[in-house]
Structures are given as structure tokens and as C-alpha cells.
Structure 1
Amino acid sequence: MVTALRGVSERAEAWLDVERERIGLWLPVALGAGIAAWFALPAMIQWIGLLFLLAAGALVGVLAGWQRRLGRIAAVGSAVMAAGLLLIWARASWVAAPVLAQPAVTAFSAEVEAVEPQPAREQVRLIVRPLRRPDLPPRVRLTLRGDGDGIAPGAFVGLRARLMPPPTASLPGGYDFAQRAWFDRIGAVGTVLGDVVRSPGARRGSQPLRARLSAHIHAQVAGSPGGIAAALVTGDRGAISPEDDEAMRRAGLAHLLSISGLHVTAVIGFAMLVAMRLFALSRRLALAGYVLPIAAAAGALAGAGYTWLAGAEVPTLRSLIAALLVLVAFLMGREALTLRLVAAGALIVLLWRPESLAGPSFQLSFAAVTAIVALHESPMMRRFLARRDEALPLRWGRALAGLLITGLVVELALAPIALFHFHKAGLYGALANVVAIPLTTFVIMPMEAAGLLFDSVGLGTPFWWVADHALRLLIALAHAVADTPGAVATMPSFPRWGFALTVGGGLWILIWRTRWRWAGAVPLAIGIAALLAQPRPDLLITGDGRNIAAAVPGGGYALLRNRAGDFVRDTMSEAAGIDAPLGALADLDHVECNADFCRWRQGAEEGVTRAGQGIARGEQDAAARVILASRGRDRIEGAEMAAACAAADVVISDRWLPRECAGRWLTIDRDSLAQSGGLAIYFGERPRVVAALRAGDEHPWRQPDQLSGNDEAVPTDALAP
């Protein structure tokens, strides 16, 4: 046994010696694993226990095998993972701020911190700081109908608003805004009621450069094309219509709307090209070899300015960091585009904003870049794209094939992440990007840059005309691809452990170089199998209990309240993993409804179909569950409900149910939903319930310091800076 273990250790040491240049690439992975573990584990005792385990791993690595690579990897990896857990824990404690305890309608004065116009939705989003209101959180996000009447950052206003705590995920696997709001120090969200009053005599805020530039672009290019044009320059996506935004997402082109590597590279490359052409006119600078360093400095400044203008989001910062590292490596005569550069960028972003790891932006951007660099580092791809003496059509065809292969690899890398966060992934994105990326890089962005430059002398109109038509072509391409049958793959919730295996297996394949890299295919396959094996829920219940979606024969879903808004419908469709309109439960033959309740057998209609296949109707009905769901607002006495509740397997209500009302298997009302959040219920041989909120979750946004938000009206003359 000892001999066998020694042999395995020796083979591992030999393999690690061959891969020694790639070992350092796992540092950001270890740091990210510690951060992810803190998000995944719910209780503080588990965080502390994991720290002790990692400390033991580091100690074993130091004492038992520091002279060997396996020992050093165990010690350093455990220490870095522990550092990641401590980093995000400290970050969450550092940004702690009180949160509103319950919904409230109140008037208050506030200083406007940020303004985000959303003309496509005819509203403005404000971040404000309430003044002299210790019962309100220090930062509040508000939605104001209209154009905001020139409200700018720095202004002092008085308003009345309906406030509520930052919402948690309404369904299992949904977007948890409360988590993001915690790290943004936003303690309440709400809607402005009535008009906004400006403080008499207070200084008026001025619109920032980003807002003024976006407004200028909207004036040159109207509608949704103008919204995309502004998104490419300033990152402001508020003017893009919801229909066009969804089409871009379904077509796999949404990355063009988030300023990242493509945009930053184009800006830096253009700035360097112009600088090189200008400074090369000086013989003195050219002969002294200063042209390239000066051009690199100009590109770096242009990239930094562009990042600041676009709001310095995670994809933009990641792209800027990577671009700056490329410039440094280029000036030093080193190979620039390597996974070391990607690892360095990830390490910097995680140290600066560790919470970004949990968001789709970080995951999608770094997964795409890692896949691209790993692909183009491979010997096979290098041989395929190597320059050779061949006819021009063959050269262009080879370049086009390389672009298509890169797009396919990126789509494969991003699909699990998109399915985990959004429950859907585009299938034709690689083909759409073959047209969209060159169109954006070589037509739209240069025309916008020229239009902005020549607008200073009143000659920018022709360039905006070209940009407008190119943007309309891009939108038409997005709709054509999005409307193609099978353009989007949809899946229900992706188990966290399956997603972790998928990511781990993918990184193993991308980072290592030798044949042992393909061992990562095992966890990758297990993770994908876990996704494909996930059943669709039979019932979905939102956290407030008002909206219920039930699976119906044919793979669709129907809503209890057919008047539910688009947000609820989209949330239900994502959680169910479907890409089809939701019907109405009351319109189905097997559903009985009155003014107060709806009652049906979940799966009863399937019994009719299966009866034709020789399966008895009674046998199917015995397996079906009887559901009773309230939809009225009138009070009903418990004695009147008792018989109906006792005849149902599951009773669901958004109100408090009397003790006389209890289902045979499960009773869900306002009290239980307050503890569980939204629910996904699966029937079958082993019925189970999945909750959006985990019992015993001790993350700070689940147990924050709470404020009352008392209704204290503030007179207009009391508003003061």
C-alpha cells in the first residue's frame, strides 16, 4: 500500500514538473473558491469550521511535504482559499449598513447621489441619501416616473415614496437583489409618489459628463438604436427597448451592450494607431525609439478614460486591467496574450471587489476570455491560424473559420453560466457574432467616434447617419436570430453542486496543457448530467404567495392570476425553464374556480391521455395531488374553509390561514412564506419542496440591522442641504 501511494506521488510530481508554468494560474481559482464557499455555506459555524480545515491542510502541506510540489500546492492552496473566505467575510462586514424593516410610505428630504435615466421605460432611477432621518437607511434606490425634470447628482430634493426592503429572490434559483444591495449599501428600494420638490436656495446639481454625452448621442440617433449607441460609448443602456434588449440576449449578442474587452481593445487600439501616426512624424522621436512607448501611454490613458466614462463596471475594469498588462508585456518584449494575464486580472478584481465573483458579469467575462486565450494557446489552433503563403480567399476563409471556432468555444464555455443564472442560453450566438462583431468593431464604433469628433465643428451628421443604419442592421440581425426556432435553450434550476463541478472541470481542461487535462471531462460531464436530469417543477409559488404557476400537459405552465405583469411572467418562465407564454389556470377544463379559490388535480389531465394507452384513469388520479389556492381578498371564516382544506393535498394562500384550514400534505400561507420565501414543489415518487431562503442562513443581508421607516412628513420649507 505504501509502495503504491509512493508511486502515485512520484507520478504526480513528474506531471506537476511538466506543468510547473501553469500551477500559478490556480491562485485566483483558489481565492475564488474561498469566496464561493462563503457564499455557499449558510452558517457562521460552517465558515469557521472550513477555516480550521484549511488551516490543517496548510499545516500538513508545510510539515509533510514542503520540499515537494504536492506539499507546496496543498499549503499555498489552502492558505489562499482561507484568505478568500476571510476577504469576503471582512468585505461583507465592512459595507454593513442598516436595512428597512418593513414596507413604509414616508416623506423625506434627500441628497441625490446618482441618476440613471431609463427613457425606454419612461422612468428615472435615483440613488439618494436621506437627510435627518435616522429611521431610514443611508442609501435608498428610487424609481421616478417621467424624465426626472433635470434632477442631477448633488441636488437636494423633497419627496414622498413607497419604500420596501431590498427584495430577495422571489423563486428558488432566482436573482437575489438583497445580496447585491448589501454590498452597494442600499437599504431600501421604492417608488416616488407624486412630484419631487427641489430645496429652495440649495445648489442645483450638474449632470455628469456621462449623462451629457448619452443625451447628445440620443439626440443624434433616436430610439433603441440610439440606446445601443450610448451603451457602446458610455455604458448607459436605459434607452434600449425591452424587446430589442431581449432579442440581443436571445441572439447571444448581449455582450456587445456591456462594455468589456471588445470595446476597450478597440478604443486603446485606435488611440495607439493615431498616436503612432502622429508621433512618427517627428524624426527625433522615431529615431530615439520613443514612438511606441508614447503610443502605448496614449492608449492606456484612452482606455482608462473610457473605463471611467462607462462607469467602471466589472467587465470594463477587467478589460482595462488586461489591456494594461498586455501593453506592459508588449513593451517588455514578452508574449502578451497568455492565461497568466487573465489570472492576474482575475486576482486584482477579486482582491478589490470579492463579491463580484457571485455575479454573472464576472463569471461570463472571465470565462469568455479564458476560453479564447486557452484556445489560441493550443498548438492545433496556432497551426491552423499560422500565416502561410496562400491565396487571399483562402486566407480570409481561414480567418473566418477561426472566428467561428472561437465563437463556438466561447458559447460552450458560457452556456453553463447562463443556464445557472438566467435558466436560458442562446444557441446561435457564434453565427450571429461572425457578423455582429466586425460590424460593431469596424463600422459602428468608428462612426460613433468620428461623429462625436466632428460634432465639435458641426460636421458629424454623415457619420451618425451611417452609425444609425448599421445599428438598425445589428438590431434586425438580433431579431432574426432570436426568432429562429430553437434559438434558445431553456433549463430549470441548475444545482449548485452540479454548477461547481461543471466550472471546476472546465477550468481543469482550460488551464492544464498535458493529456491529464482531459480528466476534467469527468466532473464536467457529471455537472452537465445533473443539469439535464433536473425535473421541471410542478408548482411555482412566489415569495408573497400571490402568484402561482402550475405545470400543464404539453410542457407549459399556467398562472393562477392571469393579470400578472411581465416581470412575474418572466421570472416564472425562467424558474420553470420554458420559453413559451404562460396560460391561465382558470381557462383549463380540469380547474374549478370561484371568486375566492381555485381547485385542481395536478396531473389529472395526463390521466386522460394515459388512459388511452391502457393505464386506468383511477390509477392516475390516485397519484395526482389536489391543489387548493386562494385568489380572493374577502375574509372567510375557518369553519367554512375546513372541509375544502381537508380535501386538498396542498393548500396555498397569500394570507394568514386559520387553524381549521390544513392540507393533507402541505399548507402554505403568509407565515410559512415569510420563513421559506418562494417555493418550487416537485411531485412524483418522492415529493419535495425547494425554498428560495435557506433555514439558518446567517449571511448579513439575511439578518441586517433594521430601521422602522416611520411616516414623518417633511414640509417643503424644512428641506435644506
Structure 2
Amino acid sequence: MGAASAFATMMSAQRGALFGWVPVCLAVGISLYFQMKFEPSVIHIFMIAVIGAFFGAVAYFLPETTRPFAVAVMLVCIGVLLAVVRAHSVAGPVLSFRYYGAVEGRIIAIDRSQSDALRLTLDDVVLERVPPSRTPERVRVSLHGDRSADIAAEPGLRVMLTGHLSPPSGPVEPGGFDFQRHAWFARLGAVGYARTPLMGVAEPEGGLGVFRIRMAASARIQSHLGGDTGGFAAAITTGDRSAISQASLDALRASNLAHLLAISGLHMGLMTSVVFAALRLVLALMPPLVLRWPARSIAAAGALVVAAGYLALSGGNVATQRAFVMVAVALFALMIGRRAISLRGVAIAAIIVLALRPEALMGPGFQMSFAATTALVAVFGWMRDGAVKFGPKWMQPVVAVVISSAVAGFATAPIAAAHFNAIAQYGLLANLVTVPLMGVLVIPAAVVAAVLAPIGLEMVALWIMGLGVDWILFVAHFMADLPQARSYVIGPSAQVVPLLTLGFLTLLLWRGRLRWCGVVAMAASFVIWHGSERPDVLISDTGTLVGVMTDQGRALSKERGAGFAASNWLENDGEGISQSAAAARWQNDIPVIHLSRKRAVAAFSGCVKGQVVVSSVAFDQGDMPCFLHDPDSLKHTGAVAYHRGEEGRLVITTARSIAGERLWTQWPKKKPLRHDMKQAQRKNNLQ
């Protein structure tokens, strides 16, 4: 058989299976947009559109075996254009300086920060001495200090406080999580904190009706279920996480049960399944109706309405929107007599999500959700087609739960480890003893409570729901307290996750022997991950913290301050130690000088060639042969990393060089490092 004939045979085998690659091609285009180091101009956008249209037109004339490749190029171009349109559609003013003064705005979101402080998101913002054209559309403020004088935060309430605001910060290290990009798509133009009392300016006006209902429902749940039990119950029903403690959140993360707190595919699927089953049961009790009307389609339509209501009640965040789309596709398939769960349905859901929120592709939620769903559909489809069963019939529900937890865990574990640098050692066991309870007790009780709430009888259902929540919290704390409950892994290099994803999708979507190339790609990604190297020196974007890799691990220059950067550096290093423990490694023989105060700068006597000096205050000591970094220079470079190159030379990488010049970046006019500036000045003087 010739090569052409073999190729034709291979492509013919893909008939009916190529639709699954449509969202993959869109995702490639979206990823290309976010990996660019510059913002595409109008000319670039026009060229991309022309290329996409050209290949779309050419595909019509190509033979069937090669047509998919032309369509793939067209879809990649469409993916780029989707990301461009979305990025420009959310554009708004971003604060360009540090601000201290009066902050006034309307409360549109209430949650808690990583430090467990109440956090408010405000819109319709007014800042003192800042013109409206430069005022951000939204700001987020964490409330620290004594809050006894605060008024109660309510949806839609117009408030005022005196706060410290700053632009969204860039990555804590080159190539790290880009909060600037995240804030851009969340329309956050400034973030900060306040220690002054929260004062009311005007009573809540019209609008934000769903938000008011959510917070009222959350308060009602918490009035019946106190403490973390009420906070957990409120979180899974209304999306309000402000009442659950940081200790319980940490325990849920350490036991791999944090996904139970987020309203995602599991909750939406369980909720709609309970409603669908209940409606079918009710309809079955009415034979005249069942004989005349399609009961299954009616039940699916009713479940879809409830799912839409759940979406609105939960706040409609990205994860919940994604879950709703997937459930809606499955229910619509039931209504028209198609298979509810299929890879085609997953592909349709992915296409819709990517079209509406292209930026979701870059987050762990999208990646983990669709990895788990794709793996589950593929595995159970294989078991269904092959009539594979494990154990007797009465054991099938238990076997299904075990297989579901195992498959979802294996599919999401590498992605979770890549993003969060941690693996919950007892996560599978914790899920096996809690997820079934969510399906048979917690979610059904929540549905009954919602039905009984209008007549004031929800307390019985909430009490039953609380029993299940108490068990979940008990398991989370018990597992988190076990020795080595959480292990840490080194942060992977940039090519690991794309290669791993490509291999995973090839294994599941491709037909024929070439699918096993996916296993090779996945194995290669783990080899590359294992060989990932961390920077020898890391410098925060303000100069307040320095981390140097030693034989014992990373040594930090301070035991307090810049905690977010410190925790991220240590997690990316694969270490689960505290900042103070890492600071204890800092010794006098560290080959980096950190000047953390003005007094240290005044006492600084000089440096040698090739040495790295970092100052947390503005610093200019004239012509020196070393690498100097201070707040002024770091504004232009962002966080800095040094690696050992050939012959032991230090090679510098900056956050700016990785992130580029994008819509969401707020870099000042570029200027060279301090020692380069001195060389340039000397050269100009000589000329």
C-alpha cells in the first residue's frame, strides 16, 4: 500500500470523529493570541481574517482527505479573531498610579480574599481627583483592620471608604500567572485595601435583583445552619463563599474536595439529574398525560429551566456558565431524542464556551472541567460499546462512582499539579466517601429546601443537608491532617501543558493506530516536566523580596512581606514550606545583596562585577559594574529571574520580555537596566 493510499485510509477512518477537533483548533488560535508578545494591529487582524477566509474557500475544492486540514487552519484563524474581539470588548480604564483617598461605588460582589478579609467589588466608581475618563469601571477592595464600625454590606448599596488602590500587578515571576490579564477580562481597573470604616452613601436602588436574591437566600441558609456548615451550604446553592473560613477552605484544598465548593459540572449535573428524575416520576403517575405527551422531553425541558435558574442564583461565574452549557447540550439532546452524553456534546459545549469567553481557555477551571468530562465520556462510552461491566448488577452504582472518581482524578491531576503545584495524596479516597453523599443527600435536600422556602418550611431540608455537609467538612479536615496529605511538585516549563493536552486529546479523539502517539506525547511532557529548572535568582516586581536557590532550596531575603510572591515562588519550586522557614536559609554567603531599607542603602559600600544588587527603595549609586534593580527600574521590567548560563554567566529574564506589550499590560516607557544606562551615558558623553 502506497503512502497516498495509506493516508486516504487513515483519513477515511476519521469520518464522524473530526467534529471533536473543532474546539481544539479554536483553542489553538486563542492560545496563539494570548502567547503573542504584541497586540495585533488592524493590519494583522485583517491578514488573519483573509487567511482564514482563503483556507475556508479552498476547503470546498479540496478532496475529502485533505479538506480537514484547510478547515483546521480556518478554525485557528477564527480562534485568534474571537480572542481579539473579546479582549477589545472588555476594554476599560486601568489605574496607572498608586492612589490613596476616598473611594465611592456600588457593591456588585461580596467575597473573601486569600487573607480571609471581606472583599467588595464596586462599580460606578468615583475617585477623588481622578477624572471619569481615567476612573476604572470596577475596583476591588479588601477590608482589613477593625470592622466594628462598618455598615452591613448589601447588594447595590452605594458606599464610601478611604482606600489604597493600585493597578493590577503583573506576574510574580517571568512566565507566572498573569493577574493583569485576569483583571482585564474581569473589568477590574484597580485593586487595593482599606482600614477605615465602610460608610453608606445611598440606599440600594433598582437593578442587581438576582444578586439581592442570592444574598438573601445565603443569609437565610446561614440563619438555619451556622458556622462553616452554613457557609458551605450557602456556597453550593448561591455561590456566596464569604461565610466559610479560610481554615476550612485550606482543608478542602488539601483533601482535593475544593471542587465540591465551586458550583461547577458536578453540582449542575446532580441538580438537573435530581429534577429530571423527580419530574419523570411525577409524570409517570399520570398515565393519560404520559400516553399523549413525550414525558422524557418534558422532564428534560423542566430540568433545563431549573438549571437556568440555578445558573442565575449562583451568580453566573465562568465555571457555572461552562457547567450550564454542558448540561444544556445534554438536556437538549434528550429533548430531540439524541444520546445525551457523547464526545460530540462535549465538543459543542466547548465551542460555545470558547466563543463566549475565549479567556477561559487559559484558566485551570476550563482545562480541568473539560479534561474530566472528555475522559469520563470516552471511558464510559468504551465500556458501553464493549459491554464491559465490573461486578454484579447490584454493585454497578458503586462501581460507577469509583470509576468516575478515578477517571476524573487521573485526568485532572496533572493539570491541577501544573497550575497549583500540589497533589492531594488522599484525594481519591476523600472523593469516594463524599461525592456519593452529594448526589444522594446534599443536592436533593437543597432542591427540597428551595421548593419549601416560599412557604417557610425549608428548615427540615436544610437540617438534612447540614448532616451531609458536616460529613464532607469532617472528611476534609481529617484527610488534611494526615501526614503528607499534600505533596508539592515543581512548576512545569511552558510547553508541558500544551504537549500533555495534545497527547491526551489525540489518544481520545483520533481513530487508528496513530492515537497511541498521544501516549508518546504525554510521556514526553512528563519527561520535560521532570527536567524543568527553576531560576537561580528571583526578584519581586517591587524589589521588596529576593529569592536565591541554594543547596537546601530557595532562600528568601525576608520572613515577612510580599507573602503572595513568596508563596508562589516556593510552590513553583515544589516546596511546601513557610516564608519564615525559607528566610532562615538566607545566609551571609548568598551572592545577592538585598537592600530592604533606606538605612541599608545609605550604608551600602559597593559591589563587584556581575553581582546582583536589589533595593526596595529608589537607589542610584553612580557608575557600578553590577546588576542593579530598584523600584524605578522594576516598574519597567516587572519581576526578574536570573538563570545560570554557559560558563556560569547570569542570564536575565523579565516579566515584560515574556508578557510583551499587550492591552492589559501597564508597562511604562521601556528603559534599560541601571548599569546599562550608565554605560549609555558614558558613550554619549564621549561622542
- Specify if TM > 0.5: yes
* Kept in 2: contact 1:276–1:291 (CA 8 A): yes
Q: Which residue of 2 aligns with 1:680?
A: 641
- Secondary structure of the structure 1 residue equivalent to 2:616: coil
* Kept in 1: contact 2:151–2:198 (CA 8 A): no
Q: Which residue of 2 aligns with 1:491?
A: 489
Measure how far apart 1:683 and its partner are: 3.6
Q: Which residue of 2 aligns with 1:415?
A: 413
Measure how far apart 1:79 and its partner are: 0.8
Measure how far apart 1:426 and its partner are: 2.8
CA distance in 2, matches of 1:528, 1:41: 25
Aligned counterpart for 2:631 among listed residues 636, 645, 670? 670
Q: Does 1:701 find its partner at 2:659? A: no
Structure 1 runs of 4+ aligned residues shifted over 6 Å read 45-51, 117-120, 204-207
Summarize deviations over 1:493-552 as a string: whole Å, max 9, x none: 322222211111111111123332111122222222111101233333221111223334
Q: Does 1:19 find its partner at 2:14? A: yes
CA distance in 1, matches of 2:321, 2:203: 39
Q: Which residue of 2 aligns with 1:343?
A: 347
TM-score, normalised via structure 2 length: 0.87
Q: Which residue of 2 aligns with 1:240?
A: 244
* Kept in 2: contact 1:57–1:74 (CA 8 A): no
**Bigger mean CA deviation after superposition, 168-177 or 25-34:** 168-177
TM-score, normalised via structure 1 length: 0.83
Q: Which residue of 1 aligns with 2:672?
A: none
Cα 1:48–1:534 change in 2 (3 A) is: farther
Q: Does 1:314 find its partner at 2:310? A: no
Measure how far apart 1:310 and its partner are: 0.8
Cα 1:54–1:33 change in 2 (3 A) is: farther
Aligned counterpart for 2:517 among listed residues 516, 519, 523? 519
Q: Does 1:580 find its partner at 2:574? A: no
Measure how far apart 1:84 and its partner are: 0.9
Measure how far apart 1:349 and its partner are: 0.9
CA distance in 1, matches of 2:473, 2:564: 23
CA distance in 2, matches of 1:130, 1:193: 19
CA distance in 1, matches of 2:243, 2:175: 29
CA distance in 1, matches of 2:580, 2:667: 39
CA distance in 2, matches of 1:163, 1:89: 28
Q: Does 1:30 find its partner at 2:25? A: yes
Q: Which residue of 1 aligns with 2:402?
A: 404
**Bigger mean CA deviation after superposition, 359-368 or 556-565:** 556-565
Measure how far apart 1:34 and its partner are: 0.4
Q: Which residue of 2 aligns with 1:157?
A: 159
- Secondary structure of the structure 1 residue equivalent to 2:474: helix
Measure how far apart 1:238 and its partner are: 2.0
* Kept in 1: contact 2:158–2:200 (CA 8 A): yes
Within 5 A, what are the aligned runs for 1:431-442? 431-442=429-440
Within 5 A, what are the aligned runs for 1:110-509? 110-116=105-111, 121-131=116-126, 133-134=131-132, 135-145=134-144, 146=147, 149-199=151-201, 203=205, 208-379=212-383, 382-385=386-389, 391=392, 395-396=394-395, 399-454=397-452, 459-509=457-507
Measure how far apart 1:161 and its partner are: 1.9
Measure how far apart 1:262 and its partner are: 1.6
Within 5 A, what are the aligned runs for 1:90-129? 90-116=85-111, 121-129=116-124
CA distance in 2, matches of 1:304, 1:514: 40
CA distance in 2, matches of 1:301, 1:377: 28
**Bigger mean CA deviation after superposition, 556-565 or 249-258:** 556-565
- Secondary structure of the structure 1 residue equivalent to 2:135: coil
Within 5 A, what are the aligned runs for 1:618-657? 626-634=591-599, 636-637=601-602, 641-643=604-606, 645-646=607-608, 649-657=611-619
**How large is the Cα RMSD of the aligned pairs?**
3.2
Cα 1:78–1:585 change in 2 (3 A) is: closer
CA distance in 1, matches of 2:615, 2:298: 68
* Kept in 2: contact 1:58–1:78 (CA 8 A): no
Measure how far apart 1:237 and its partner are: 1.8
Q: Which residue of 1 aligns with 2:682?
A: none
**Bigger mean CA deviation after superposition, 408-417 or 39-48:** 39-48
Measure how far apart 1:233 and its partner are: 0.7
Aligned counterpart for 2:654 among listed residues 683, 686, 691? 691
CA distance in 1, matches of 2:520, 2:423: 23
Measure how far apart 1:684 and its partner are: 6.9
Q: Does 1:571 find its partner at 2:573? A: no
Cα 1:377–1:54 change in 2 (3 A) is: farther
- Secondary structure of the structure 1 residue equivalent to 2:578: coil
- Secondary structure of the structure 2 residue equivalent to 1:99: coil
Summarize deviations over 1:544-581 as a string: whole Å, max 9, x none: 11122333444x43322112365344223223221223
Summarize deviations over 1:82-132 as a string: whole Å, max 9, x none: 011011112211221111111011225433333446799352413222248
Amino acid at match of 1:447: A
Amino acid at match of 1:632: R
**Bigger mean CA deviation after superposition, 75-84 or 55-64:** 55-64
Amino acid at match of 1:700: L
Measure how far apart 1:216 and its partner are: 1.3
Which has the bigger relative contact order, CA under 8 A and spacing at least 6? 1
Amino acid at match of 1:41: M
**Bigger mean CA deviation after superposition, 199-208 or 464-473:** 199-208
- Secondary structure of the structure 1 residue equivalent to 2:171: coil
Measure how far apart 1:186 and its partner are: 1.8
Summarize deviations over 1:640-698 as a string: whole Å, max 9, x none: 6343x22772222222332447464x332223322322233334755434433326812
* Kept in 2: contact 1:375–1:406 (CA 8 A): no
Cα 1:422–1:35 change in 2 (3 A) is: same
CA distance in 2, matches of 1:559, 1:447: 49
Measure how far apart 1:453 and its partner are: 4.3
* Kept in 2: contact 1:642–1:662 (CA 8 A): no
- Secondary structure of the structure 2 residue equivalent to 1:334: coil
Cα 1:558–1:47 change in 2 (3 A) is: farther
* Kept in 1: contact 2:45–2:81 (CA 8 A): no
CA distance in 2, matches of 1:151, 1:561: 36
Structure 2 portions without partners, runs of 5+: 670-687
CA distance in 1, matches of 2:161, 2:400: 56
CA distance in 2, matches of 1:64, 1:212: 55
- Secondary structure of the structure 2 residue equivalent to 1:702: coil
CA distance in 2, matches of 1:695, 1:391: 56
CA distance in 1, matches of 2:617, 2:638: 14
Q: Which residue of 1 aligns with 2:684?
A: none
CA distance in 1, matches of 2:570, 2:434: 28
Measure how far apart 1:379 and its partner are: 4.8
- Secondary structure of the structure 1 residue equivalent to 2:197: strand
Q: Which residue of 2 aligns with 1:548?
A: 546
Aligned counterpart for 1:591 among listed residues 584, 587, 592? 587
* Kept in 2: contact 1:537–1:576 (CA 8 A): no
- Secondary structure of the structure 2 residue equivalent to 1:100: coil
Measure how far apart 1:244 and its partner are: 1.8
CA distance in 1, matches of 2:91, 2:223: 41
* Kept in 2: contact 1:119–1:239 (CA 8 A): no
- Secondary structure of the structure 1 residue equivalent to 2:388: helix
* Kept in 2: contact 1:676–1:695 (CA 8 A): no
Q: Which residue of 2 aligns with 1:560?
A: 557
Cα 1:232–1:695 change in 2 (3 A) is: closer
* Kept in 2: contact 1:118–1:239 (CA 8 A): no
- Secondary structure of the structure 1 residue equivalent to 2:434: helix
Paired residues, number: 658
Amino acid at match of 2:84: W
* Kept in 1: contact 2:30–2:358 (CA 8 A): yes
Structure 1 portions without partners, runs of 5+: 593-599, 602-625, 707-721
- Secondary structure of the structure 1 residue equivalent to 2:198: strand
Amino acid at match of 1:653: S
Over the matched positions of the two proteins, sequence identity in percent amounts to 30
Cα 1:696–1:337 change in 2 (3 A) is: closer
Amino acid at match of 2:99: A
